[in-house]
Amino acid sequence: MQQMAHLPQISPTTLAELQSDYLKQATALWNSALGQGEAPAVSDRRFAAPEWRAHPAASFMTQLYLLNGRTMQQMAAAIEADDKTKARIRFAVQQFVDAASPSNFLALNPEAQKLALDSHGETLARGLQHLWGDVQRGHVSQTDESAFEVGKNVATTAGNVVFENELFQLIEYKPLTDAVKARPLLMVPPCINKFYILDLQPDNSLIRYAVAEGNRVFVVSWRNPDESVKHLGWDDYIETGVIEAIRVAQAISGQDRINTLGFCVGGTLLATALAVLAARGEQAAASVTLLTTLLDFADNGILDIFVDEASVRLREATLGPESPKGPQLLHGQELATTFSFLRPNDLVWNYVVGNYLKGEAPPPFDLLYWNGDSTNLPGPMYCWYLRHTYLQNELKQPGKLTVCGEKVDLGAIQAPVYIYGSREDHIVPWTSAYRSTQLLKGHKRFVLGASGHIAGVINPPPKPGKPPKRSHWIAEGKAGTALPADADTWFKSATEHAGSWWPDWSAWLASHAGEARPAPKTPGSRKFKSIEPAPGRYVKVKA
């Protein structure tokens, strides 16, 4: 009985208020269905088609569904429990509400039914074909995957693979200017996805933009792990991955200190590698750029609901070295499905309805093609990452973690830092990205962009004559003044600027890139010769 008192519950008073409010609204809906009042307007785009309003039964069902959904969410919000339990309950309720939408079922969707009747069943036949195709592919199609080919119409910036090992290929991009800055730029993308999110199309490629700005650009293209590397851990990704990439970029450019950039978990890997090198007495970075990166994992956004001691132990027991079967791969489709269900209406049910009920082929969209091009991860690496960052938040604690035989202290990295966060990022909340300003000791610049985890980053300057997209915020403090500890305090002093943050970053990067020198005529060096043209073999391997 004592344990029962600690179970999540809703106070009787709150529950009674919710029940009373529900009965009033349900009665009003019933009366409106009988012609005794006007039903409230529906703004939900799932029910925007006129068929939902034309059929009284469908209209009533829509209103009742929305009422039920609101009430369930209010009940979830009223739960008395610890924060993580409340968040998990809210997430589970939202998943159920989104899945139960009448729009997701042919028998309840008047729009899909009318399309089937008007087409004499052709939409249903096409929907079944799409369903069978997705069953064979193992995922719900979000775009026309046949419209894209890596190296042909995505990841097309010219360059050469100049190094490869069991973990990555290093690409050096062909200069687009007669002169390049002396210090090269090494980009470390997330190993959870493929690098060409930074090189989708020429007009929205951060890689091409950096090259066109006169930088000598190197990019890590992570291998899509298979059974031969399923045993690799976090230390391997640091030593054999990021540190090795730094070594090669240093050797080819002849520069002891290089500019570095990390995106998402690529930024976490980069910062860890630089801290390992600092512990060895080497300062390899002339500058560090971190894009939507977590170093302090105190607030992990929506992903926090998936992480606790029990879930991490389960992963370790099934994927880690202590697994009865030995180390295993975390398959990319599992990760991709998890990320899609963080926004189920946009990334799951929208395509279920369109692809299967309406028989519509999804349009070609480069970003969604990349989103579906999933990657595996070695189980030991993934388990270490989960436990020591998301669960125990140890990376921010000086000397707490030993990586590659060295005590990690992020504060030992001696380099200026450009930190970017996206205001609507649900994977790396911008306030969490901002916390990196308190961990790194070099001179720091923080920039906040509009939109989400990907769209905020991939926001190029507009073409001449075109209006700017989105915006960004910068707080111009006095030289030598430290950034405030609190993100909201920083935001109060920030000024919104229209358009892309890329030019601001490029100007900052140029101040750390050294003098201009003639662009190299050939990629690599005598020791590191061209292996194959960019984007290389590794990025083309499917999970």
Which of 66, 375, 111, 37 lies closest to 225 in space, CA to CA? Answer: 375
- The distance of Cα 362 from the centroid of its chain, to the nearest Å, equals 22
What is the rounded CA–CA span in Å between residue 285 and residue 513? 11
Q: Which candidate, 267, 299, 249, places its Cα nearest to that of 431?
A: 299
Q: How far apart, in whole angstroms, are the C-alpha atoms of residue 338 and residue 427?
A: 12
90: Cβ contacts below 8 Å, ≥ 6 apart: 73, 76, 77
Give the Å distances, CA to CA, from 477 to 319, 424, 443, 474. Answer: 47, 24, 12, 9
What are the residue numbers of the active site?
A: 264
- Rounded to whole angstroms, the Cα distance separating 383 from 390 reads 10
- Of 413, 432, 414, 412, nearest to 422 by C-alpha is 432
HSE (side-chain half, CA atoms, 13 Å) at 161: 19
Q: CA angle, corner 388, sides to 385 and 392, nearest 5?
A: 135
Query: Rounded distance, CA 244 to CA 250, Å?
Result: 10
Pull the structure tokens for residue 227: 């059974």
